[in-house]
Each structure stands twice: as C-alpha cells, then as structure tokens.
A and B are shown apart, each in its own frame.
Chain A
Amino acid sequence: MKKNITKEIGELLEKYFSGETTLKEERQLREYFSKIEDDGSDPQIRGYKDMFGYFSDESDKVCLKEILLKETDTVKAGKKAHIIAPRYFTWGLSAAAILVAGIFLFSPGTKQTFEFRSNGKKIHDQTQAMNFASEKMNRVNKMISGIGSNNRVFNIITKTNNSLAPLAKMNKALSQNKG
C-alpha cells in the first residue's frame, strides 16, 4: 500500500488546485487517495484523503443528485403528461358521451321513407300512400278554402259578433291573393 505522495500525484495535485485537471486525472487522484494508507505520518495524506474521499462522496452524491433530479424531471414530466392527458382524456370522453347521447336522442331512428297501414297491416305501395294523404288533405283544403267562398258560414259569424272584424280583413286578403 502506498504511503507517500508520488511526484506524479504531486503534479496532478498542482494541476487540480489550478483547476486544470481532466476528469480522468481527478478520478486518478480520487482512486489514489482512496487506496493510500494513512498511518498518520504525513498529515497531507490525511487531508487529501479526506478531501478526495469527501469529493468522491460528493461527486457520487452529485451524480446521484443529478440522476435523481433527472429522474424527478422525468417523473414530473410524466406526471405532467399524466395530468394533462387525463384532463384531455376526460374532455374527450365527455365530448364522446355527449355526441353519442345527441345521436341517440336526436336520431330519427330507422323509419322508412313512407309507411302506409290499413286494417292494421302495412301496405308497401307508395302511390297508394300518397293518394291517401292527398285525399285527406284535399278534404281539409275544401273545408278551409270554403271560408272565403262559403259566405253562408262567414256571414253567420259576422252577424253574431262584430269583434270578428280581423277575420273579415283576413278573408279579404286571402280572397285577393287567390289566383
């Protein structure tokens, strides 16, 4: 086991304190002083041993700290990603749920283009369906359009109640627009 500081190490030490050592040289110094025996004969050795041992610890700590910090950043980034992702995920899920609900609620369903039933049975005849609709509407049209031409009904109303004057105006307007 070495007991003395060699010339080479001495030169490295000078460089070290001048801030000119490389990482390899610093590692060399650390290794040297970690192995050197300290029997108390040379106080410098104890000093350097303690120093490089401390620095070695510190450098390990620093390395560990750096690793931890890096890990923390990653974790934080990951957590941040997780914080963001769930928020967007929740939004996305909500939007999807609303869309599905909207489609379900407002969907017209699978109704066909027409449906005609007679005596409880479906009749798959579009022409018949249209004719049926037309017939019923024409019946109503006849009744309604009769307001203008059916003076018998209209006159009875106006005689009994003068407040129906707006009805007279409407009838006049409708009669004028009839082509």
Chain B
Amino acid sequence: MKRILTIIILLVISGPILFSQNKEIKNIFEKYEKNKSVESVYLSPFLMAMAGKFTNDAEGKEWISAIEEMRILTVEMHGKNSGNVELVKQIKGEFDNLFGRYKFERALRVKDGDELVEMYVLKEDKGLILFLNDSPDEFSVIVMFGSISDKILKAVMKGGVKFN
C-alpha cells in the first residue's frame, strides 16, 4: 500500500517535469505575445477540432486530429519594424536555450535565398513540432503540440499542414 501511494505521489510530482518543455515554450509565448511588436495567435484544442471538420484534405484531417494546440508568434522586421532585430535575437536565444536543454531533434533546415526554415521535433505522445521561419521581413515561431508520430511528420514534411 505504501508502495502504491509512493508511486502515485511520484507520478503527480514527475508529471510536471515530464511535460515541462511544453510548459516552457508556452511561457516564452506568453512572455512575448503582449509585446507591441509581436503578433501572436493561440488556437485551442477545440478550435483545432473545428478546423478539422472544415478540412477536405484527408491528410490535413489526420494531422489536425493529432494536433491539440497551435501557437504562432511573429515579429515584423521590415520598414518601421526594422528595429525589432534585438527582440528577434532575444526570442531566438530563448528557443536556442530550450533546444539545448531538452531532447529536441532538428528534423529539417531549408534555406532559400535569405529565408530560412528550421523544424524541430519532440516525437512523443505529448510532443511538438516547432518551426522557426527567419526572413528579412519577418521572424515566426510556429509550434504545434500534440501526438507526434511518423505519419504526422510525413504530412508536415510534404507541406500538408493546412487549414483549408
């Protein structure tokens, strides 16, 4: 009985530790989303499920069903927003720090001209796919939280992540 109670208590305590990288990412988003130079969007599990109903594409439906939550953060860098370079540097630094501390895999790095897209994956039941899109006119971070399987990765790699 004591053993069972100990296990239960350890599970309760370890739960937050296991999912802490997800929590840290959300904290970064929450830290910067209120910044005036930042545009951000949070799509809840409910809205993701609704989006799935309106997707005609079978592959699209599949990835949407696996993704529980989506967060996007964008910093404009062109014109009057060219002064946001420091802000972008700060956000990049936060994520680099995160990648170093947790078991993220850099699955993809695509550079086309001045635009760079990097894809990081945490392939778990409570995993995530993270995109860093860096271009002269804007910097975006896109995170999809959910059950990340090979099938989902395949859909993502084919550019199948769409809402319509």
Interfacial residues, chain A to chain B (CB-CB below 8 A): 94, 98, 101-102, 105-106, 111-120, 126, 129-130, 132-134, 136-147, 150, 153, 170, 174, 177-178
Contacts and interface: CB of A to CB of B under 8 A. Distances in A.
Contacts, number: 115
B158 A102 contact: no
Interface residues of B, number: 45
A158 to B, nearest CB: 15
Given A132-B72, A143-B115, A111 B42 contact: yes
A105 B20 CA distance: 11
Contacts of B162: 134, 137-138, 141
Contacts of B47: 113-114, 126, 130
B161 to A, nearest CB: 5
Contacts of A98: 8-9, 12
A94 to B, nearest CB: 6
Contact of A120 (B38, B142, B156): B38
Nearest to B156: A144
A155 to B, nearest CB: 13
B112 A150 contact: yes
A126 B17 CA distance: 33
A144 B117 contact: yes
B27 interface: no
A112 B16 contact: no
